[in-house]
Amino acid sequence: MKTMLGIISKALCRVTGKTVETQTVSELLIDLSEFVSVTSPAAPASPQARHQPPDPPPVSTRGSAEQLARTWTDQLDGPGARVVVSRSFTDFTPQATFDIKKCDLHRLEAGPPVRAELTREQGLQFYRTMQTVRRMELKADQLYKQKIIRGFCHLYDGQEACAAGIEAAIRPSDHLITAYRAHAFTYTRGVSVKKILAELTGRKGGVAKGKGGSMHMYAPHFYGGNGIVGAQVPLGAGIALACQYTGTDQVCVTLYGDGAANQGQIFETFNMAALWKLPVIFVCENNQYGMGTSVERAAASTDYYRRGDFIPGLRVDGMDVLCVREATRFAADHCRAGKGPILMELQTYRYHGHSMSDPGVSYRTREEIQEVRSKSDPISMLRDRMLGANMASADEFKELDSEIRKEVEEAAQFSTSDPEPPLDDLCNHIYHNDAPLDVRGTHPWSKLKSVS
Ligand SMILES: Cc1ncc(C[n+]2csc(CCOP(=O)(O)OP(=O)(O)O)c2C)c(N)n1
Ligand SMILES: [Mg+2]
């Protein structure tokens, strides 16, 4: 395998002019797959960016197999649609139940179920969401290496099941706040790949008008994108306090990392949230490292789900989208029932280094990364499950992959051709809805007007 990769990498280097020594095996694989998309002809514009696959007809109201196959293919763009015609929906299992890993519990008598139902439609949606995030992050990696994206950039590949599973279990009107590894949640909260990539390249069409960058993206009910480690946790409790105060039954999902979990402000927040029974789901995304420090080296207790002490907790397989969905549903029900906060530790893994300036292999081995990729990759796991239960065909997944690749490629083209924001816009949008205000420039006597 190693020799094969060596041969392929040398060939690739000849074409791309890159050096092979600096690359990890996973980076090489990323580069290989990305190279294919970079050199392929530009994709035709699709009518609109879609986050979810077209809905197949409901199982209970099926027409003839031929009619159904036509309905499905009519909704798909591209050549792969033809492949599906050979099989109809009646060939597929519309719904299946899967055994999932039992959660470890803290201060809870019962936990989430150990079996999860999945419909074919949901499975295809999860696949699309996770694969879109994966391709978007790999594209960001490529744009960064081409020096088109500059500055901070923290990628989420490997952790996709966390974002997809959480989003599937909460309502769009619930709130969510996270740290700087924020691209995936920006997407699941409804922002298009195009606006995310354009934000990363600092262009006018970006979700924060090109002025936020990787760590500062927002959407309705999504509060970013926060660069100060742990600082979003008290903010999340504040959002939950607002939900309680205004009498809604919304919850606030408040995410932080294993590194942030050792900070003082987290424990102050736990105290207030428990005391006031705030509807907050604290989520510790334990991806095993805080920058280059492993959890064992940083934490006196790596049982993050127990570290809320008086707050009930769950330890969840964060690589399995179904486990995450079930646990989040359980946690949201807990909050909506007025029982106060709950803590979920999602055990996950990041494939990339901490940020784009970290190659990610000086504090862990390449074999470790490869092992996670081959044994518990969230996307492969879902795909294999669905194929094993005859819920979809390999051709369908291929078709989805090529659709996603096109969407990401188009978004990348936009993000490299859209203009940068004009200089006049520099100080605008500081406040959401304030009247024009004066902002001091680089020296006290230069005043700039900020409009909302
Ligand atoms: C208050 C503060 N201290 C230190 C840093 C530098 N820093 C940035 S990310 C990071 C590690 C955080 O790791 P973790 O919480 O596990 O999140 P992950 O990167 O793994 O998603 C540190 C120490 C910071 N941004 N803010
Ligand atoms: Mg971490």
Note whether 426 and 311 are same-domain residues.
Answer: no
The residue written with tokens 């150990």 in the block is 114
Give pLDDT, residue 451.
86
Closest ligand to the CA of 261: 1
The DSSP element (H or E) to which 10 belongs, if any, is helix 2-16
Angle between helices 160-169 and 120-145 (to 10 degrees): 140
Shared domain for 45 and 113, answered yes or no, is no
Say yes or no: 409 and 429 in one domain.
Answer: no
Q: Are 392 and 123 in contact (CB under 8 A)?
A: yes
pLDDT (tens place) for every residue of the chain, 452 residues total:
445 545 544 544 444 344 433 344 344 444 343 333 332 323 333 333 334 433 333 333 233 333 333 333 333 333 233 334 456 667 899 999 999 999 999 999 999 999 999 999 999 999 999 999 999 999 999 999 999 999 999 999 999 999 999 999 999 999 999 999 999 999 999 999 999 999 999 999 999 999 999 999 999 999 999 999 999 999 999 999 999 999 999 999 999 999 999 999 999 999 999 999 999 999 999 999 999 999 999 999 999 999 999 999 999 999 999 999 999 999 999 999 999 999 999 999 999 999 999 999 999 999 999 999 999 999 999 999 999 999 999 999 999 999 999 999 999 999 999 999 998 888 888 887 777 888 888 887 888 888 87
Distance between CA atoms of residues 448 and 424, nearest Å: 9
Q: What is the pTM of this model?
A: 0.82
Residue type present at position 217: M
- Mark which of 45, 68, 90 sits at the end of a domain: 90
Closest atom of ligand 1 relative to the 257 alpha carbon: 15
Please give the structure tokens belonging to residue 19. Answer: 């050096």
CA of 61 to the centre of ligand 2 (A): 46
Residue 141's identity, in one-letter code, is D
**CB under 5 Å of ion ligand 2: residues:** 257-259, 287, 290
Cα–Cα distance for residue pair 14/76, rounded to 1 Å? 37
CB neighbours of 375 closer than 8 A, spacing ≥ 6?
Answer: none
The residues that bridge with 438 in the sheet, in sequence order, are: 449
Ligand 1 contact, 345 CB (< 6 A): no
CATH number of the domain residue 408 falls in: 3.40.50.970
Q: What is the SS3 assignment for 302?
A: coil
Amino acid identity of 169? Answer: A
Give the DSSP per-residue string, 417-449: HSPPPPGGGTTTTSSSSPPPEEEE-SSTT-EEE
Sequential DSSP letters for 148-199: SS-S-----TT-HHHHHHHHHHS-TTSEEE--S--HHHHHHTT--HHHHHHH
Strands 104-106 and 280-286: unpaired
- Whole-number pLDDT of residue 7: 52
Q: Could you count the other beta carbons within 10 Å of the beta carbon of residue 72? A: 21
Ligand 1, from 263, 266, 291, 356: best to mutate by most atoms within 8 Å of Cβ? 291
Instruction: For residue 288, give the DSSP letter.
Output: S
* Distance between CA atoms of residues 185 and 162, nearest Å: 9
Closest Cα to residue 411, out of 178, 149, 62, 235?
149
Distance from the CA of 258 to the center of ligand 1, in angstroms?
9
Domain count, the chain: 3
Q: Which residues, listed in sequence order, are joined to residue 106 by a DSSP beta bridge?
A: 313
Looking at residue 78, its pLDDT comes to 32
Q: Burial, 406: exposed, middle or buried (Cβ in 10 Å; 0-12, 13-18, 19+)?
A: buried
Whether 56 and 72 have beta carbons less than 8 Å apart is answered as: yes
Same domain flag for 118 and 86? no
**What separation in Å is there between the alpha carbon of 206 and the centre of ligand 2?**
27
Separation CA 394–CA 399 (nearest Å): 9
User: Does residue 363 share a domain with residue 313?
Assistant: yes
Are 143 and 270 part of one and the same domain? yes
- Give 429-445 pLDDT, tens digit per residue: 888 777 788 888 888 78
Say if residue 129 is in the same domain as residue 202: yes
Phi and psi at 254, nearest 5°, equal -120, 110
Statement to judge: residues 105 and 232 lie in one domain = yes
Mark whether 395 and 331 lie in a shared domain.
Answer: yes
- Per the structure, the complete domain to which residue 234 belongs is given by 96-421
> What tens digit of pLDDT does each residue of 133-171 get?
999 999 999 999 999 999 999 999 999 999 999 999 999
C-alpha 294 to ligand 2 mean position (Å): 8
Distance CA 82, CA 147 (A): 39
Do 214 and 202 form a contact (C-beta atoms < 8 A)? no
The full DSSP string for 35-93 is HHHHHSPPPPPPSS--SSPPPPPPGGG---HHHHHHHHHHH--STTHHHHHTS-GGGS-
Q: Are residues 409 and 432 in the same domain?
A: no
**Tokens 């969230």 map to which residue?**
378
* Identity of the amino acid at 271: N
**What is the CA(396)–ligand 1 centre distance, in A?**
39
Report the distance separating Cα 89 and Cα 57, nearest Å: 9
Claim to verify: residue 438 and residue 297 sit in the same structural domain: no
Verify that 32 and 118 share a domain, yes or no.
no
